[in-house]
């Protein structure tokens, strides 16, 4: 049962990441591969505040979101100078910069040693040290993020985002400041990603830079591409599939000497087939 709860918590965390990135990539059409950086900023901010000051988890999460929002605003201002492939390359570079800071600013992040002993949340003196209460917390945060993302995408603001994705120059002719809309949704996506980072840090009780590499950003991007771009339910479904699929393959009876390699081969093959025959994803309304 603990194993199932563990997987559900991870699905919740990556569901939040998928929803937040889908606002930027799926609904606005900005190919960002720097999401793991914001995920990491939220995790490190929360971990540092919890371990150095003994701050309440929810206050640390809130402050981490503010820190991430400010930093994402600065990064977004730079990225707003780029378009299309150059935007993706710029976001690629920022992910590497943030990872390098996590790795080398040892006085703050402890570098490759990571930060251990991160406290679990507590509510009115009740510690969520068991995984079941933590799962409930994660589900609540996921539900709130889902409702927020749905409200954004169904609003007039969301319709402008979709118009930017389809034809940015056309929407500019109607007097819309597209840089404002792109920058706003970029910051919102980053702040939501920081919430997932806070949950992850407190759940695992240990973080190090290896979790927040470029590969992690690509994995989050794969979640929304597989689940379906510009579809909130698809972002959650993508997290379910990509978290559970490797676990299901563990129970396939491969010979022990090649089991790990065969699981990776089949995992990759399934993803390739899905992209060939369902390029917009399982529930997608748009494809890159």
Q: For residue range 52-75, list pLDDT tens digits in order.
A: 988 999 999 999 999 999 999 999
* Confidence (pTM): 0.94
Residue 146 has pLDDT above 90, yes or no: yes
Q: Determine the pLDDT at residue 205.
A: 94
Measured between alpha carbons, how far is 144 from 7 in angstroms, rounded to an integer?
A: 20
Average pLDDT for 242-253: 79
Environment class of 50 (CB within 10 Å of its CB; exposed 0-12, middle 13-18, buried 19+): buried
pLDDT tier at 137, thresholds 50, 70, 90:
very high
Rg value, the chain, Cα: 19
Mean pLDDT of the residues in the chain: 91
pLDDT band at 272 (very low <50, low <70, confident <90, very high): confident
Report, as an integer, the average pLDDT of 243-250: 81
**pLDDT tier at 276, thresholds 50, 70, 90:** confident
Which has the higher per-residue pLDDT, 141 or 214?
141
Please check the confidence at residue 255 and state whether its pLDDT lies above 70. no
pLDDT in tens, 183-211: 999 999 999 999 999 999 999 999 999 99
pLDDT confidence bin for 245, thresholds 50/70/90: confident
Please list, in sequence order, all residues whose beta carbon lies within 8 angstroms of the beta carbon of residue 231, skipping any fewer than 6 positions away: 22, 26, 281, 283, 284, 285
Q: What is the pLDDT of residues 206-239, one digit of tens each?
A: 999 999 998 899 899 989 988 888 999 999 999 9
Q: Percentage of the chain with pLDDT > 90?
A: 69
């Amino acid at each position: 049962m603990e194993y199932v709860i563990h997987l559900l918590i991870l699905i919740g965390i990556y569901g939040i990441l998928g929803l937040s990135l889908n606002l930027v990539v799926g609904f606005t059409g900005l190919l960002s591969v720097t999401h793991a950086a914001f995920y990491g900023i939220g995790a490190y901010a929360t971990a540092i505040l919890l371990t150095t000051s003994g701050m309440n988890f929810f206050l640390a999460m809130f402050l981490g979101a503010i820190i991430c929002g400010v930093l994402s605003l600065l990064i977004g201002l730079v990225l707003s100078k780029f378009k299309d492939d150059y935007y993706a390359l710029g976001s690629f570079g920022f992910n590497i910069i943030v990872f390098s800071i996590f790795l080398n600013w040892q006085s703050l992040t402890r570098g490759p040693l990571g930060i251990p002993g991160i406290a679990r949340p507590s509510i009115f003196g009740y510690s969520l040290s068991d995984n079941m209460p933590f799962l409930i917390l994660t589900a609540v945060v996921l539900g709130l993020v889902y409702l927020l993302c749905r409200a954004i995408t169904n609003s007039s603001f969301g319709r402008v985002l979709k118009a930017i994705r389809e034809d940015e120059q056309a929407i500019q002719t109607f007097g819309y400041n597209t840089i404002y809309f792109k920058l706003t949704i970029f910051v919102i996506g980053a702040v939501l990603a920081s919430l997932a980072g806070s949950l992850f840090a407190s759940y695992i009780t240990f973080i190090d830079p290896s979790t927040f590499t470029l590969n992690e950003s690509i994995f989050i991007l794969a979640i929304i591409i597989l689940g379906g771009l510009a579809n909130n339910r698809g972002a959650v479904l993508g997290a379910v599939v990509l978290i559970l699929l490797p676990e299901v393959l563990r129970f396939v009876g491969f010979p022990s000497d090649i089991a790990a390699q065969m699981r990776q081969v089949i995992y990759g093959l399934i993803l390739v087939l899905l992209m060939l025959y369902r390029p917009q994803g399982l529930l997608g309304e748009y494809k890159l």
